[in-house]
A and B are shown apart, each in its own frame.
Chain A
Amino acid sequence: MARPPLVELIDIEKHFGGVRAVDRVSLDLWPGEVVGVLGHNGAGKSCLMRILSGAMMPSAGEIRVNGTSTVFDSPNDARDAGIETIYQTLALADHLDAAANLFLGRELKTRFGNLDDARMLAEARTVLARLNPNFKNLRDPVSSLSGGQRQVIAIARAIYFDTKILIMDEPTAALGPSETAMVADLIRQLRDEGIGIFLVSHDMHDVFELCDRVVVMNKGRLVGAHAIHEVSKDDVLSLIVKGELPADWSARNLAEAAQ
């Protein structure tokens, strides 16, 4: 294939003292692909995603974006490379309003270097309305918004800018059913636009619904990487819990084809 993957993680390691939180993990992501990242709490998936989003430096290993080796010193470096992250905690500044949060760290400015609040508000109104038409109270501090609205701000912040790779850490954990469906639709839409998505999730249903591929981490190691139609939910559970596939495993799609 002529084009390199959007991003390649090669032999990434992260140590905390003697603990190997991430142990020689290699992973890639292609345009228009949704990759589910699964594992127990503490399996290292959050750590790996933080390394990719520039919030954490790897102890060893290489990150290649579009085939070029890069080093992310800060979240801004990763964002400049088109990698956006929606954190499980949403990472919102509670006392600021929706527009200020949307543009936090990337404020729009007037010619004189002042904050262009009018333009930020207008832009925020447009992008938020696309995600949730009922979003009206943009001037309120985000601490006063509902969980769904806060989630929408976090998502809007990730897709407003020129995004190529999107990391979503438990994006539906705090949402109700209709909002979850909205996020699922959005993921499909973004995938169709050619954005590559890492979906960190515990929800097996979401993963099988949305992902093209699953990777499973266990104790810092990558124990499985499969196309979604190769495996069943039980297979994935086995990988998560035991770190290996069931002994009598054969690819699900091949088995079905043989019958």
Chain B
Amino acid sequence: MAFRPAAMTGARGPAAVARVLPDAAKLHRLSALATLFLLVIGFALASPAFFSVNNGLTILLQTSVIGLLGIGMTMVIITGGIDLSVGSVLALSGVASGMAIKAGVPVAPGMAFGVLVGAACGAVNGLIVTKMRIPPFVATLGMMLMARGLALQLTGAAPISQLGEAFGRLGNGALFRIVEMRPNGFPKVVFPGIPYPAIVLLVVAIAAAYILRRRQIGRHIYATGSNEEAARLSGVRVDRAKLYAYAMSGALAGLAGIVLMSRLVTAQPSEGVMYELDAIAAAVIGGASLSGGVGTVPGTMIGAFIIGILRNGLNMAGVSAFIQQIVIGAVVIAAVWIDHIRNRP
């Protein structure tokens, strides 16, 4: 019993700890929200340009990519796995889509093809994890190298540019954008509109939350991560749940790749390096547990905004890119550490 000091003191029996547990999850979410507000206030004080509509939209754009990756990552993390390949799959999907469009495919099917490539990568991850019984860390690490290598090989490491205006609309356009022409001939933006990437993120987040909370497959994803053997004995097809989660993660990485490349109007095979860490950090900050069974889409959204605002605010405050790496790295470790503390009996 030496390794369970909490049980020795007797002050907090297992039942007492347990009664606090559901509240603890909420508490975690609240503390994440509080962190988010503190960050906003802090950066607003540090730099007046931070707290403006335009910068808000920039944050929304930047966060949409982390958010999309984070939602897929959350599904995988709930099953008790991890997906290290999303950054590379993002690049491969963007490149695949760019090449398809260069080859004459119309923009919309070309983009859909990119998402499909992402889903296929995710499905391969899922099959390697479930059929070959390779640990998710290793399986997706392999996919991370393979997808990146393929993206670089296909393009000769050169970006694919001149993809046309239509390709850039998803990443740069906005809904309800109001522009009026001034008498001097220059346009004036009355309302910058809601960027399409933010709308994509919102739709995906609602859909993912619905799948996880209201559909059987979502329930099975939680059950698989909570206790895989119990889920299997209860008749849950755990392999199917895992495959679904990895395929979703891959597809959302593909979608994030399309959004990102569309914003750049260029398919960049070297985009998205280390994005998996942002996605993992978003999920874990949002309350997902790396030991599985725990995690929510709203939580991950908060986590994604914390990461997005942190990056943006540090930029606005003129902090160097190297220092930013140090800060984000520390935040990731802190988030995982908090996860560990939460799971201690």
Query: Chain A residues in contact with chain B, CB under 8 A?
Result: 53, 55, 74-76, 79, 85, 87, 89-96, 100-101, 104-107, 109, 113-115, 139-141, 143-146, 157
Contacts and interface: CB of A to CB of B under 8 A. Distances in A.
Given A113-B215, A144-B15, A145-B18, A105 B293 contact: no
Interface stretch (B176-184, B233-241, B260-268): B233-241
A95 B219 contact: no
Contact of B222 (A92, A95, A114, A145): A95
A53 B231 CA distance: 14
Interface residues of B, number: 29
Interface of B: 15, 17-19, 21-22, 213-216, 218-220, 222-223, 225-227, 229-237, 293-294
Contacts of B231: 93, 104-105
Q: Which 3 interchain pairs have the tightest Cβ spacing?
A: A144-B18, A105-B235, A95-B293
Q: Which of B231, B234, B236 has the most CB of A within 10 A?
A: B234
A256 to B, nearest CB: 43
A18 B331 CA distance: 52
Contact of A141 (B22, B214, B235): B22
A91 B230 contact: yes
Contact of B226 (A75, A95, A113): A95
Contacts of A105: 220, 231, 234-236
Nearest to B17: A144
B227 A91 contact: yes
Contacts of B226: 93-96
A114 B214 CA distance: 5
A184 to B, nearest CB: 24
Contact of A93 (B22, B230, B235, B237): B230
Nearest to A139: B22
A129 to B, nearest CB: 20
A75 B219 CA distance: 18
A141 B21 contact: yes
B234 A75 contact: yes
A105 B241 CA distance: 12
A232 B284 CA distance: 59
Given A96-B223, A100-B219, A146-B15, A115 B214 contact: yes
A101 B231 CA distance: 9
A139 to B, nearest CB: 8
A87 B233 contact: yes
A85 B293 contact: no
Contacts of B236: 104-105
Contacts of A109: 216
Contact of B215 (A76, A96, A115): A115
A139 B21 CA distance: 12
A91 B229 contact: yes
A95 B294 contact: yes
Contacts of A144: 15, 17-19, 21-22
Nearest to B231: A93
